Amino acid sequence: MSPVSIGVLSFIALTLFLMSGVRIAFATAICGFFGLWLLRGYDPAAQLSASTILGHLTNYNLLVLPLFIMMGFFAFYANITRDIYWAARQWLGHLPGGLAIATIIGCAGFAAACGASTASAAVMGRVALPELKKYGYDDKVSTGCVAAGGTMAIMIPPSVLFVIYGYIAEESIGALLLAGILPGLLQAISYVIMLLIRFKLNPELGPPIRGITWADRFRSLTGIWGMIVIILLVMGSMYTGLATPTEAAGVGALGALIMALPRLSVREFSSAMIETVRTTSLIFAIVAGVLIYVHFLGFTGTPAAIADGIVHWNLSPTVVLIGILCLYLFLGMFIDGIGMVLLTVPIILPTIKTLGIDPIVFGVLVVRMVEIGLMTPPVGLNVYVLKGVAKGVSMADIFRGCGWFVFVDIINVAILLTFPQIMLLIPNSMIK
């Protein structure tokens, strides 16, 4: 049996594992190890697996992950989320669908301090849903806003998923993080436009807030300084070249801790650190398993064979890219974002490079498709997380509430495909 055939059989075995409910970290590690054993023998397989995990997980660049995660937890305890949402409420609440729009803006603001979409959805759900309920907003619209708004945390930097993509694709993490800024803003603005149109056509979805004074609005601005400081510390230092992504993450985490200290109890500090360790451990376990599997695939030559096969079809790069994005749309319904990126990028990236597509552009588009997958059934993780917060709303209603946002996201993907300069403008202008 040829190595490529073994690689194809491993895909089938991995699919069966995942469909049977085996965790992706274990499924990939098992398939990768037994594949190496079959190709190289037991002792080389054991040595390669151990050295692969040790060599990659101790890489300095991966230190950015726990630091970004820690920054998000400290920002939460500093009440940055609530302050941003309240300011958005005061300034935008008078518009049609003002509270829903304020939720989107609050999610976008918190995304600049939190790189995990599920965490953003859970936090914003606790902050925004009671207020939306109080003013009688439609449950589907309310939960859809929070679920969709939460996805922006993996597009607007700092993004855990961009870090993982940059590491696995061997691309600049700093450039990827900066590339997500304009697509993230486009996403937020398009959500706001869609909500304005919907509420203008159907005011019964939720009323605007009356009686907000200019004094209330200006007073609310005093709460957003913390978010501005974190953005300047993290993104400013990377853009100007003063700090690497890891150094910027460390400075951002320290800044968030200092802002949280006046409100941070010993118990909350311990909780933030425990949750940081738990989340990081989960991510690193997936990374470890996938690295073994990717190492095995490298020996089979399967990624190169796939690239050669696609190139021989003589299709245009745009057609191939659209086909790959459709594949991600399908996979996003069943696999979580981190696992999907780790599993597919090493296989697909050789094809992308052969076709001359910029890996930074591809990375942004992949993250965009992962965002959609977080809202689509049957495994829309943001919906499942939100269900734990929105007790009185059915899962079906939350998924229905996300439908309008998925439609807008697909339009956004088309815009990014047509104008890739949107993704490259800031990275190309950064100070080297």
The pLDDT assigned to 391 comes to 80
CA proximity to 399, closest of 381, 379, 377, 368: 377
The pLDDT assigned to 432 comes to 54
More confident residue, 213 or 298: 213
Each residue of 368-425: pLDDT tens digit? 999 999 999 887 889 988 888 888 899 999 999 999 999 999 999 999 999 999 999 9
Q: Where exactly are the structural domains of the chain?
A: 3-429
Measured between alpha carbons, how far is 136 from 204 in angstroms, rounded to an integer?
Answer: 9
Q: What is the mean pLDDT of residues 332-340?
A: 82
Unique residue bearing structure tokens 């207020």: 131
Answer whether 7's CB lies under 8 Å from 302's CB: yes
pLDDT at 431 > cutoff 70:
no
Task: Pinpoint the alpha helices (H) of 156-224.
Answer: 160-169, 173-179, 181-201, 214-220
- Measured CA distances, 330 to 10, 12, 139, 335, 380 (Å): 20, 17, 27, 9, 12
Measured between alpha carbons, how far is 265 from 399 in angstroms, rounded to an integer?
Answer: 37
Measured between alpha carbons, how far is 127 from 131 in angstroms, rounded to an integer?
Answer: 8
| Mean per-residue pLDDT over the chain, rounded | 90
CA proximity to 15, closest of 384, 407, 344: 344
pLDDT at 16 > cutoff 60:
yes
The pLDDT assigned to 155 comes to 95
Answer whether 69's CB lies under 8 Å from 116's CB: yes
pLDDT at 68 > cutoff 60:
yes
- Measured CA distances, 121 to 70, 107, 286, 376 (Å): 17, 8, 22, 15
pLDDT at 312 > cutoff 80:
no
pLDDT at 240 > cutoff 90:
no
The pLDDT assigned to 331 comes to 84
More confident residue, 112 or 304: 112
Q: What is the mean pLDDT of residues 158-184?
A: 93
Peptide bond into 207 cis (omega under 30): no
More confident residue, 248 or 315: 248
Q: What is the DSSP letter of 378?
A: S
Give the 3-state DSSP-derived string for 284-306, with helices as H, strands as E and coil as C.
HHHHHHHHHHHHHHHHHCHHHHH
Answer whether 432's CB lies under 8 Å from 241's CB: yes
CA proximity to 113, closest of 207, 12, 229: 229
In the structure, what pLDDT confidence band is assigned to residue 66 with cuts at 50, 70 and 90?
very high
Unique residue bearing structure tokens 């937020």: 188
Q: What is the mean pLDDT of residues 337-359?
A: 89
Answer whether 396's CB lies under 8 Å from 143's CB: no
The pLDDT assigned to 227 comes to 85
